Every structure is written in structure tokens, then in C-alpha cells.
Structure 1
């Protein structure tokens, strides 16, 4: 069960699970905390996991005024402070990986390690055009189902479309009692479309693992590789046959990989 907590002058919905070293999970565009269900279920025997709804998603209210990636990073920091977590392994996906980058840059002491999934540092022309298409698609699609069916063409593998995974995810999204408004979707999308961290990534000091899906067309491996090349000591891995959301499509493999990375960091910390 989750709860609304007071953080950074507002309310943020958080879900917590498990015991062990702290892990903060930062979801991407439009995704509530439930997007991490396979990690909340699959890693809770080894970690204390915290997931939350970004502003304008799920049960967290949409504030007045424009959203920004640094502002959303302050929300992440506020969640950790409110829960009394001095530092955590931080994993961000897609837009959430941008928030995680900013969190590591602005609050390095809060970040024990970084896992950046389907990430980018500088939006290129293709990415900006794609985001523009999503912006107007959200308000002009004939139905919410049609919007999801189109949007998920960028998110999941052909395998997931063929085996019923995408159909199941769409049904779960339509049944979710806290749907995101078109305005909230567009206002979240806007800062992800333009925010640029590439020139500052060398300032990140946390051990970092960058994961990219081989078939990801929303954040292709070349963008993730550019991020990893600029973060000192970062590891970069391409997941063969996977797309934008491997943590949902192949959760067992994904959980095993991030667990191994966090164990390495834990062992290194014990030695120092």
C-alpha cells in the first residue's frame, strides 16, 4: 500500500516495499509507481524499494506553472528527505532517467549509484520531432485506447505486440483509477523534449550503469552510449532484442542485472 507524503511543499504519492539497502525508482513520462511492479515484487527480498508518482501522474497533483527536469529532481530529493533516507541506489527510466541524472548532479550525496534505463543526454532532431508528434497525438487521438495503441509502438518490442503483452498493459492502463490528463501528459513531455545534460554529465561521481534496448526507437542505444561515455567510469550495456521498457518485458533478466550491479557497489562500499 502507498501513501501521500508531504514533500517539497506539496504532496507526492509513494509506494514502498521490502527490506535492505534503499533503492529509489523514478518512472518515466506518464507512468505511475505501478510501472515498477515487477521490481517492487521481484527485488523486495533484497532491497527497500521506493517508487513514486511524478507530479501530474497518478495520485500526485499537477502543480500550477511549467514543469522542469531540475524541479522534478528536487521532488526526488524531497521524497528521500521526507522518508529519512540519507542516500539510495537510484534507478530512472526514460524521462525518469533524466530526473535521475539531475538528482545525481544537484544532490550527489543522496545517490549511491545510478542505473539509467533507456536514457539520453541531449535530445536530437529525431527525438524532438517524435515528442512533437506525441504532444498533438495525445489531444487528437480518437480515444484513450487509440492513443495508447499508437504510443506503445515506440515503447515495446514486436514480440510484446504479438504475444498479448501490450494488449494486457493497455487494459491495465484503461482500468487504472487515476488516469493522466492530456494537459499533464503534455506538460511532463515538454521538459523531457528539450532538457540537455550532456555537457555536465562528467560531473556525476556515482557508479553508473546505462542500459539500452537494442530495438529501442524512442531512446536508441546511440543516445545511451553518449551518456555513458561522458560519465566517468560508467558501464554501458545493450540488451539484445529489447526495446524501450525491458524492466517490464523481461523483468527476471532485468532484475538480475541491476541486482548484480548494486551488489558490486555494496561490496565496493564495504571495502572503503
Structure 2
């Protein structure tokens, strides 16, 4: 189901909530929506209560005045989880969502049972910083070029090559939507992200998943996360950056195996 908190609340994020069992919060990346997790939500809901929020600027979640701040976004997600009845939960973040998940874990450790990052990063290293710069530049006008850039960078060549022309066009069209005001605000926050100081303070068990075919966020970013988080475990997926879309089944299995051990 899709719902939202009362519009009067400044944390009125759109979200989906389904399933029953231990809580799991899925946080998507820059310019995405909770639809990015569609392939995982129902399978995970067989054993978990799955909350999938849209951070500010995505879906029906409003943008606040001024630049997005990571602390406030993390607090909004924790507030949403509490409003949804989740007192203890795992946080799973993809890409930018990984940094948000880590900040939730360090600001609200009493509620977080475990953390998973998928193609995440502590800060944009030079290669990622330049790709984000290109994204910002293309987002100023050429939406077709933006769609081509984000599609080619976010998916493995093998996955794209297997799509028929109509499906490929739809993926490019979806990616070109990352020039909306909400996406631009999230991109601005992404370019300012630096959670390296958080890493030693992540107390919850953590799984850091890198994607071996990721051409957007190099796996070295995941290595940096794993090196900084005490007792972090690592995993890999043979996908591009958008693992939740490219291979939701394999990612679901990886998550279930880790979360069921908690």
C-alpha cells in the first residue's frame, strides 16, 4: 500500500508499508523513488515489515525550504519509522541511501538493529564527484542526454544489451526524470555527502555490498566503507549500480541471509 503522514507534519514523507515481522527500512538513491525497490518489497514482506520511504523531493514527499541536510533527512526517516510503529528495524540504503542509512544508525542507534549499504559511499571520491558534476550539468537542460548518461552509468552492459528497444527506451525515459527540482536538491546533497566520521561509530552489524559491474560508484567506495565500519561484513553482486532494479532476486537473497542472522 502507499500512504503518507498528515500533510501538516514536516516529516510527511510518502511511503509504502507492507508485510509482518521484524522491521526493514529501504532507502533509495539520488533522484529515485520507492518504486526502485519494487522487486524486493513483496518478497521481503513474506518475513519482514517493509517500510519504503521517499526522502524529501522524491515522489509525493515535499521539499523543505533551503538545501537538504543529511541529519534532517535521517531524522525524518526515523520519525516516519516510529509513526509506522517500527521501534526496532534494519536500515538498507542504496547509493545515497547508504549514507542516509549510516546517519540514521549513528543518530538513532537505539532503533537500528542492522545496516546494509548497496553500492554506497562515505563521500564522493574523485571519479564519482566528476560523474555527479556531469549529472548536474546535463540536468540543466538536455534531458535526453541525461537519460542516456544515467542509464549507461547505472546498469551493466550485459543487462542493457538484453533489453528490447521499447524497454530500453523506458529505462532512459525514467532516468531522464532525474532533472526534477527534487532530484536536483538530492543531487546537491549528494555532492556534499561525507560520512567518514560516522563510520567508527556504527555499532549495529553492517553488510557492505559492492556491485562488480558498477560504472557509476566504483566498488572502491564500498571498500572505504567496509574499512571504516567496525566488524563490517562484505558482499558482492555481479550487477551495475542499480542492483535493486537489475537483479532484485539476488539482492533479496543476500539481504534475507544477512537479516535473518540478526
TM-score, normalised relative to structure 2: 0.92
Partner of 2:3: 3
Structure 2 residue 34 is matched with structure 1 residue 33: yes
Contact in 1 for aligned 2:151/2:171 (Cα 8 Å): no
Cα distance, 1:167 vs. partner?
A: 5.5
Unaligned stretches of 5+ residues in structure 1: 266-272
Query: Secondary structure of 2:97's partner?
Result: helix
Deviation for aligned residue 1:146: 4.0
Deviation at residue 200 of structure 1 after TM alignment: 2.6
Aligned residues: 260
Partner residue, 1:244: 241
- Kindly report which structure 2 residues correspond to 1:98-247, keeping only aligned pairs within 5 A, or say none: 98-141=99-142, 143=143, 145-164=144-163, 168=167, 171=170, 174=173, 182-239=180-237, 241-247=238-244
Q: Is the 1:215–1:244 Cα contact (8 Å) retained in structure 2?
A: yes
Instruction: Note closer, same or farther for the CA distance 1:202–1:215 as it changes in structure 2 (3 Å cut).
Output: same
Give, in angstroms, the shift of residue 170 of structure 1.
Answer: 5.3
Quick one: structure 1 residues 132 and 175, their matched pair in 2 at CA, closer, same or farther if it must change by over 3 Å?
Answer: closer
Q: 1:162-214: CA deviations, max 9, x gaps?
A: 111796375278589xx665332221111211211113301110000000011
- Mapped to 1, the partners of 2:168 and 2:34 lie a distance apart of 14
For the 8 Å contact 1:57–1:180, the answer to whether it is kept is no
Aligned counterpart for 1:254 among listed residues 236, 244, 251: 251
The whole-number CA distance in structure 1 between the counterparts of 2:164 and 2:105 is: 33
Alpha-carbon shift at residue 76 of structure 1 (Å):
0.9
Deviations 1:66-96 (A, max 9, x none): 1022121111111112112111011000011
The 2-side partners of 1:246 and 1:223 are apart by 15
Q: CA separation in 2, counterparts of 1:11 and 1:199?
A: 29
Shift of 1:42: 1.8
Displacement, 1:238? 2.5
Normalising by structure 1, we get a TM-score of: 0.89
Distance 1:81 1:12 in 2: 13
Given that 2:28 and 2:37 are in contact with CA atoms closer than 8 Å, whether structure 1 keeps it comes out as yes
Q: Is the 8 A contact 1:152 1:166 kept in 2?
A: no
Instruction: Out of 123-132 and 165-174, give the one that drifted further.
Output: 165-174
The residue number in structure 2 matching 1:63 is: 64
**2:260 counterpart residue number:** 263
Task: Answer whether contact 1:160 1:166 (CA < 8 A) is retained.
Answer: no
